[in-house]
Amino acid sequence: MPHESRNPLSRLDPHAPLVLDTRALSRQPGSERKQTLTVPAPADLGVELLGVPEGTDIELDLRLEAVLEGVLVTGTARVPLVGECARCLDPIASTHGATFQELFVYPDTRSGGNADDDELRLEDDLIDLEPVLRDAVVLELPLSPLCRDDCPGLCPECGARLADAEPGHHHDVADPRWAALQNLTDDGPGHRPEP
Ligand SMILES: [Zn+2]
Ligand SMILES: [Zn+2]
């Protein structure tokens, strides 16, 4: 039986949009290739209130560079973002540029003293850019995105958008629940004991 050294669990799909073939790059340290490509966004690329809709175009500008230990990938990803303002719940739509640089180590290279489980490796000359893209995009997204930096949010009393409300919008009427409590403490005549 032929010796099979690759791990079937980690085998990359060469047709996956974010799996890149590095065979065109010479293994001579210093050689490099530039690559521009548009790929569909993978699922769940984002945080709760803001993210890249699955399947939308991500534009990648990449530079692959052969170094001693592997292939160094430097790039930028331009992604569309949609989400919701954390204060006023208005929809947000923008684009975001994420930059990244990662080293993919050759499979037969032993990583010196610091064996790192997170180390990225080439598999059959392929590199999987998805975890790199995910880290680069998601880690930069704000957990509380705002439609604009000074978004005043919603009125806590009536829920009106304060950006649209008249200046000084406020409510004088006490909360009816407090009013009810007020009535209980104001001893009415009904509470007086019968003579
Ligand atoms: Zn807002
Ligand atoms: Zn209000």
Residue 146 covered by a domain: no
Q: How far is the CA of 61 from the centre of ligand 1 (A)?
A: 32
State how many domains the chain has: 2
Ligand nearest to the CA of 151: 1
Q: Which pLDDT belongs to residue 184?
A: 63
Residue 67 covered by a domain: yes
- The backbone region for 95, taken as left when phi is positive above 0, alpha when psi lies in -120 to 50, beta otherwise, is beta
Q: Given the structure tokens 């990449």, which residue do they identify?
A: 62
Q: Which pLDDT belongs to residue 92?
A: 96
Which structural domain range is residue 37 located in? 8-138
Q: How far is the CA of 84 from the centre of ligand 1 (A)?
A: 8
Residue 17 covered by a domain: yes
Q: Which pLDDT belongs to residue 1?
A: 45
Output the pTM of the full model. 0.74
Q: Which pLDDT belongs to residue 4?
A: 47
Same domain for 123 and 159, yes or no, is no
Same domain for 16 and 64, yes or no, is yes
Ligand nearest to the CA of 173: 2
Same domain for 78 and 41, yes or no, is yes
Residues, beta carbon < 5 Å, ion ligand 1: 85, 87-88, 90, 147, 151
Same domain for 76 and 14, yes or no, is yes
Same domain for 26 and 108, yes or no, is yes
Residue 195 covered by a domain: no
Q: Which pLDDT belongs to residue 72?
A: 97
Same domain for 37 and 114, yes or no, is yes
Residue 29 covered by a domain: yes
Same domain for 131 and 170, yes or no, is no
Residue 66 covered by a domain: yes
Q: How far is the CA of 50 from the centre of ligand 1 (A)?
A: 13
Spatial CA neighbour of 98 closest among 59, 64, 127, 42: 59
Mean pLDDT for the chain overall:
86
How many Cβ atoms sit within 10 Å of the Cβ of residue 62?
17
Regions of the chain short of the pLDDT cut 50: 1-6, 113, 188, 190-193
Tens-digit pLDDT profile for residues 58-113? 999 999 999 999 999 999 999 999 999 999 999 999 999 999 999 999 987 765 54
Ligand nearest to the CA of 88: 1
Token digits of residue 126: 């392929």
